[in-house]
Amino acid sequence: MKDSMSYQHRIKAIIFDWGGVLIDNPASGLLAYFANSLGVTGEALNNAFKKFAPEFQKGMISEDALWERLCSELGVQKSYNPSLWEDAFRQVYSPKKEMFSLASHLKDRGYKVGLLSNTEMAAMNYFHEQQYDMFDVTVFSCAEGTRKPEKRIYEIALGRLGVQPDEAVFIDDRIDFIEGSGKLGINTILFKDPDQVKIELASFSINLE
């Protein structure tokens, strides 16, 4: 149990995950879209993708190279679509309005607000198209060459926000990513739903009124 008094005036920044926290997790929708486009099963595609996901999410290989490798692995013809990922992401993108409103409200209350996401170039570009104005800092794995739960990506987010680990709260829906940030001393919230997040933020003496 947290000692709420110990957090008084300490928390300066709240860092949000994107997929699964600010938006519905797009993974299953993307998988179904790709499997249908390539004429393979979701299971086969998922198993093949796991081999290339780290490099792709770190921006070490292009989307074109990803599809070359995936289609070779699966024994199917490569899609003619130059950005199948972008098209799929646009189809499945589903924001959680209450969470975006919370991020905006926290910024209005004087907190620094960050976004930290393991994502791909096409998805990152789509994010920037939305012109969200509630984030002081955005950190995407594909642009940084590192991804959660690697230590470096959390350090990048903290550095750009200009805060120490114990001055930040990180919200994510994956326990391994929460544990990765916790190892640095960052305060954490494992996302379940907006109301639960608000209750846990309040336990850090964050005023949401």
Tens-place pLDDT, residues 53-83? 999 999 999 999 999 999 999 999 987 777 8
Check whether residue 154 and residue 69 sit in a common domain.
no
Sign of the CA dihedral with 193 first, then 199, 200, and 205 last = positive
Q: Which strand ranges, in their side-by-side order, compose the sheet holding 137-140?
A: 137-140, 112-117, 13-16, 168-172, 187-190
Q: Does pLDDT of 2 surpass 60?
A: no
For the chain, the straight-line distance linking the first and the last C-alpha, in angstroms and rounded, comes to 23
What pLDDT band is residue 136 in, cutting at 50, 70 and 90? very high
Domain final position from 51, 71, 92: 92
Domain final position from 92, 119, 146: 92
What pLDDT band is residue 208 in, cutting at 50, 70 and 90? confident
pLDDT for 8 equals 47
Domain final position from 68, 92, 116: 92
Distance CA 95, CA 88 (A): 15
pTM value? 0.92
Within-domain flag for 85:
yes
The alpha-carbon radius of gyration of the chain (Å, integer) is 18
* H or E stretch at 111: none
User: pLDDT for 74-132, tens place per residue?
Assistant: 999 987 777 899 999 999 999 999 999 999 999 999 999 999 999 999 999 999 999 99
Domain carrying residue 106:
4-25+95-202
What integer best gives the mean pLDDT of the chain?
93
